[in-house]
């Protein structure tokens, strides 16, 4: 309970020559006490993950040597020989990564993988190890631990895999747990459970947790203290309450201001004519194994949605709820089994060949990952001009429209001849929006379009979308897993679960008075929702 | 990110050899004093000049006194152009099949891929011998035959990379813009998968040279009065113990060219293959 568990002094991790800055982590000093949760917050490229990797001795081998001191229980982890550190890691310090499914070996049973760690670091008998694994699985609250021990990773959900990873990390009852974005890849309800699990661990075992995240909501849920990093440097460190409510540094203030809040858009905007009417959309996937056993997944079952000009309909749901399938059916990148899509009064579902290609102008999509959504070998100006060209605009006019749009989305028209890899993620997403808008669509589908972006960029892109909607009056189908984002931009929200819409309401009504129990669960799971509204109910650090 | 490493010594060497071969094939016969068919019966089976032969025939002469240098240049011309044509035909045809399979899916894909499997499980040399036996040997037929070699690898490769490229969001975005298949495949997918195909070309080219050589060696390939390296090699068969140079020079050339092409192909793959690229960066 006393003294620091991990003390980092003047840690610098140099980058190889030719990188965008000389140090990935520069002159970083911080301490983590026993049974304390310290959150390191930062945006992409802030060096927060490398700090964690440095502590675990897992820095990429192609980086120059790190300098400074990382003292763990008095031992400098940077100085001790490899063998000694390997002995420590797994035993006294353990790590949980972002991608739980990728961190497990797919060809071994999960029980055996946890047992392996225990076997490596102790001389328990096989039966004792089995018992220990069972205890751990029970402790991380995996359902039916007996049966799950014999399961393979692909048979578990993402949340269950992360629980197995946490069980592995806890196998030797470490003093320090480093968690690198452990909940980022999970659904909100699962995330809430994992965060609760972390809090319980700290209370029961006194584990010190170094928790790396980009999400201030998560920080508000679990952090005792917060360190904010930017460009490899520590911006500010302090108790969670102080950082969250009264940040000192400008950068922290900007970050916190950019965090999407549950801030339902007020009703009362007026909309134009109906632009989308989808009725009875149904899509069933059949997966067949090698031996003919087939599994039916109802991705969509009899879904109806409608949308008017200038209106934004949010589709909210967890992974596998069918929200992306719905979008792909509306835009006909996937053919629905049943149901009709009517866009602007014209049927869209029955069209084929040339007629379909003509009609595609009316509905456009912006994808989640801006890094794969642009042809890497096409300059961005040509990407934006391509749609108008396809639909018969003369070359010069198409180019002029592309330049206009590039300027409208906040990029320099002079950069039109540059290739996608020369732009940042947020800039690329702007290009994608420009490309979609270049054909003057009546309906724009934003499929998790801001999910892959940093919060500050997220906010800008959301504002851009709203502004463009104001200007062009298209209907927008906004798909997201993040209720906070949805609340800000959507006029109505439809909550999806298992291929059905469980509840559809005007945004304000939905947040004020959710009818469906699942909606209530989703709302309750939003991280950090109490943070701005009232005092936080959190366990004291010493439990 | 784009730190271009200097190519290593073997790669430079391979490049130099290929460049020199092409140059010799293009302009070499300008400098040779003899015509390909000139016979000098008094100078039959002359050893190379540096082994006591005549200065007039630097690399020796064959069994009817024809200059080896002249014949090698002509053979090189023929071998390279046949291999080039063959590679091109195979690459274009195979790639088209692959694109078609990936575009149509379903029955078309299964039929095409069945054809690919069919081709892949027949020894090509047997097909070649059968066709040549039935249809006789003509230059056109021979080149087409070379083109048939290896198309199935292109088809398989192209189908795979096209399928994965089509699943990329950028391809879907282009489709959603209303682009037809021509624009989608020609302007977006082909440039993005071209590197994989180019690497494959460098792998098939040496194989085709070897195939042409083997067939010509057996007397089933390029027929006189045309000359190819394999044919010269075959000519020297009976004289290996007395006039080794007739076979060794063309053999050496074939060896150097195929080896250089393979080295260049490997280097290209290291540079172009996205899988390997992410590993080194």
What tens digit of pLDDT does each residue of A393-405 get?
Answer: 999 999 999 999 9
| pLDDT, position A374 | 92
Average pLDDT, integer, range A474-484:
91
Among B125, B126, B129, B128, smallest CA distance to B145 is for: B128
Contact between chains at B172 and A390 (C-beta distance less than 8 A): no
Across all residues in chain B, what is the average pLDDT?
Answer: 85
Helix, strand, coil tally for chain A in percent (to 5): 40, 25, 35
B187, closest residue in chain A (CA to CA): A378
> What is the distance in angstroms between the Cα of B186 and the nearest Cα belonging to chain A?
12
Structural contact between residues A188 and A522, judged by C-beta atoms closer than 8 angstroms:
yes
pLDDT band at residue A294 under the 50/70/90 scheme: low
Contacts of B183 in chain A (CB under 8 A): 390
pLDDT of A538 above 60:
no
Poorest-pLDDT segment among A326-335, A413-422, A521-530, B155-164: A521-530
pLDDT of A2 above 80:
no
> What is the distance in angstroms between the Cα of B187 and the nearest Cα belonging to chain A?
9
pLDDT band at residue A1 under the 50/70/90 scheme: very low
Structural contact between residues B186 and B168, judged by C-beta atoms closer than 8 angstroms:
no
pLDDT of A521 above 70:
yes
A34-93: pLDDT as tens digits: 889 999 998 888 888 888 888 888 887 777 888 888 888 888 888 888 888 888 877 888
- CATH 3.40.50.300 residue window(s) in chain A: 274-525
> Of all helices (H) and strands (E), which one includes residue A45?
none
| pLDDT, position B45 | 80
pLDDT band at residue A540 under the 50/70/90 scheme: very low
B53-64: pLDDT as tens digits: 777 787 888 888
The larger pLDDT score, comparing residue B30 to residue A389, is at A389
CA distances from A154 to A286, A298, A420, B11 (A): 18, 20, 35, 44
CA–centroid distance for B45 within its chain: 31
| pLDDT, position B5 | 60
Contacts of A215 (CB under 8 A, 6+ apart): A184, A455, A527, A528
Contact between chains at B178 and A369 (C-beta distance less than 8 A): no
**What are A71's strand-pairing partners?**
A7, A76
Contacts of B1 in chain A (CB under 8 A): 421
* Chain B touched by A363 (CB under 8 Å): yes
| pLDDT, position B158 | 94
- Sheet order of strands, A500-506 included: A363-366, A443-447, A475-480, A312-316, A492-497, A500-506
Contact between chains at A364 and B177 (C-beta distance less than 8 A): yes
| CATH code assigned to A274-525 | 3.40.50.300
The larger pLDDT score, comparing residue B6 to residue A172, is at A172
pLDDT of B84 above 60:
yes
pLDDT of B91 above 90:
yes
pLDDT of A242 above 70:
yes
* Chain A touched by B4 (CB under 8 Å): no
* Chain B touched by A376 (CB under 8 Å): yes
Poorest-pLDDT segment among A343-347, B26-30, B262-266: B26-30
pLDDT band at residue A289 under the 50/70/90 scheme: low
The larger pLDDT score, comparing residue A510 to residue B277, is at A510
* Mutation target vs B (from A352, A375, A421; most B CBs, 10 A cutoff): A375
CA distances from A187 to A119, A319, A458, A483, A500 (A): 33, 7, 19, 11, 18
Poorest-pLDDT segment among A173-177, A265-269, A374-378, B105-109: A265-269
Contact between chains at A439 and B175 (C-beta distance less than 8 A): no
Domains of chain B: 9-280 (1.10.3720.10)
pLDDT band at residue A541 under the 50/70/90 scheme: very low
* Chain A touched by B169 (CB under 8 Å): yes
Across all residues in chain A, what is the average pLDDT?
Answer: 86
| pLDDT, position B268 | 83
| pLDDT, position B124 | 87
* Mutation target vs B (from A374, A380, A386; most B CBs, 10 A cutoff): A386
pLDDT band at residue B281 under the 50/70/90 scheme: very low
* Chain A touched by B237 (CB under 8 Å): no
The larger pLDDT score, comparing residue A289 to residue A522, is at A522
Tokens representing A426?
């947020």
Contact between chains at A331 and B180 (C-beta distance less than 8 A): no
A388, closest residue in chain B (CA to CA): B177
pLDDT of B224 above 90:
no
| pLDDT, position A100 | 79
Contacts of A15 in chain B (CB under 8 A): none
| pLDDT, position A291 | 60
Residue A154 burial (C-beta neighbours within 10 Å; 0-12, 13-18, 19+): exposed
Among A485, A93, A84, A496, smallest CA distance to A261 is for: A485
A250-270: pLDDT as tens digits: 999 988 888 877 778 887 778
Between the CA atoms of A496, A499, A504 and A509, what dihedral angle is there, to the nearest 10 degrees? Answer: -20
């Amino acid at each position: 309970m006393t003294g620091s568990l991990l003390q980092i002094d003047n840690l610098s991790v140099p980058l190889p020559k030719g990188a965008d800055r000389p140090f990935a982590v520069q002159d970083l000093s911080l301490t983590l006490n026993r049974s304390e949760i310290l959150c390191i917050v930062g945006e992409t490229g802030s060096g927060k993950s490398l700090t964690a990797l440095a502590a675990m001795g897992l820095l990429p081998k192609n980086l120059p040597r790190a300098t400074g001191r990382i003292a763990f229980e008095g031992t400098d982890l940077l100085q001790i020989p490899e063998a000694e550190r390997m002995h420590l890691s797994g035993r006294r310090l353990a790590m949980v990564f972002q991608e739980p499914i990728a961190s497990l070996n797919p060809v071994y049973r999960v029980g055996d993988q946890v047992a392996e760690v225990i076997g490596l670091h102790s001389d328990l008998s096989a039966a004792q190890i089995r018992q220990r694994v069972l205890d751990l699985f029970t402790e991380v609250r995996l359902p039916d631990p007996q049966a799950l021990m014999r399961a393979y990773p692909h048979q578990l959900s993402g949340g269950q895999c992360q629980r197995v990873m946490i069980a592995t990390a806890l196998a030797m009852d470490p003093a320090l747990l480093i968690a690198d974005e452990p909940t980022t890849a999970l659904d909100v309800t699962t995330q809430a459970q994992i965060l609760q699990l972390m809090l319980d661990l700290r209370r029961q075992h006194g584990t010190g947790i170094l928790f790396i995240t980009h999400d201030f909501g998560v920080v508000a849920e679990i952090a005792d203290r917060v360190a904010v990093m930017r460009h490899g440097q520590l911006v500010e460190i302090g108790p969670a309450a102080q950082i969250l409510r009264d940040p000192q540094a400008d950068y922290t203030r900007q970050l916190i201001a950019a965090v999407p809040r549950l801030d339902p858009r007020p009703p009362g905007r007026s909309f134009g004519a109906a632009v989308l009417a989808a009725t009875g959309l149904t899509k069933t996937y059949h997966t067949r194994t090698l031996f003919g056993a087939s599994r039916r997944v109802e991705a969509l079952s009899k879904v109806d949605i409608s949308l008017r000009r200038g209106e934004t309909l949010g589709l909210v749901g967890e992974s596998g709820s069918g929200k992306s399938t719905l979008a792909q059916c509306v835009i006909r990148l996937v053919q629905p089994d049943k149901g009709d899509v009517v866009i602007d009064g014209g049927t869209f579902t029955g069209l084929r060949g040339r007629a379909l290609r003509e009609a595609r102008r009316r509905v456009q999509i912006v994808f989640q990952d801006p890094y794969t959504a642009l042809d890497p070998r096409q300059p961005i100006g040509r990407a934006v001009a391509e749609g108008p060209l396809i639909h018969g605009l003369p070359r010069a006019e198409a180019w002029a429209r592309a330049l206009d749009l590039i300027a409208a989305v906040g990029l320099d028209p002079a950069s039109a001849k540059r290739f996608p890899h020369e732009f940042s993620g947020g800039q690329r997403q702007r290009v994608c929006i420009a490309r979609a808008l270049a054909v003057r669509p009546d309906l724009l589908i934003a499929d998790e379009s801001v999910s892959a972006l940093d919060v500050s960029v997220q906010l800008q892109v959301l504002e851009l979308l709203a502004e463009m909607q104001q200007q062009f009056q298209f209907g927008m189908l906004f798909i997201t897993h993040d209720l906070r984002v949805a609340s800000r931009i959507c006029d109505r929200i439809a909550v999806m679960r298992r291929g059905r819409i469980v509840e559809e309401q005007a945004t304000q009504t939905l947040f004020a008075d959710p009818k469906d129990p699942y909606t209530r669960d989703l709302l309750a799971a939003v991280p950090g929702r109490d943070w701005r509204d009232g005092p936080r109910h959190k366990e004291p650090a010493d439990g | 990110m784009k730190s271009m490493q200097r190519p290593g010594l073997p790669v430079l060497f391979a490049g130099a050899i290929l460049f020199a071969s092409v140059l010799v094939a293009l302009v070499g016969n300008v400098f040779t004093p003899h015509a390909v068919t000139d016979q000098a019966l008094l100078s039959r089976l002359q050893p190379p000049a540096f082994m006591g032969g005549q200065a007039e025939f630097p690399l020796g002469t064959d069994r009817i006194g024809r200059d080896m240098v002249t014949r090698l240049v002509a053979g090189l011309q023929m071998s390279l152009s046949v291999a080039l044509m063959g590679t091109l035909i195979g690459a274009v045809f195979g790639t088209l099949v692959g694109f078609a399979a990936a575009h149509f899916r379903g029955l078309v894909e299964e039929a095409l891929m069945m054809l690919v499997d069919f081709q892949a499980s027949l020894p090509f040399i047997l097909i070649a011998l059968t066709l040549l036996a039935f249809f006789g040997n003509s230059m056109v037929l021979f080149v087409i035959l070379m083109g048939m070699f290896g198309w199935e690898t292109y088809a398989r490769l192209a189908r795979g990379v096209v399928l994965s490229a089509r699943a990329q969001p950028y391809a879907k975005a282009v489709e959603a813009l209303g682009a037809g298949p021509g624009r989608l495949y020609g302007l977006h997918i082909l440039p993005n998968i071209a590197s994989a195909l180019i690497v494959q070309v460098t792998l098939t080219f040496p194989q085709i040279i070897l195939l042409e050589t083997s067939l010509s060696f057996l007397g089933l390939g390029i027929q006189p009065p045309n000359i190819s390296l394999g044919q010269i090699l075959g000519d020297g068969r009976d004289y290996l113990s007395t006039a080794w140079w007739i076979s060794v020079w063309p053999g050496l050339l074939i060896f150097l060219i195929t080896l250089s092409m393979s080295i260049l192909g490997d280097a290209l793959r290291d540079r172009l293959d996205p899988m390997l690229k992410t590993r080194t960066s």
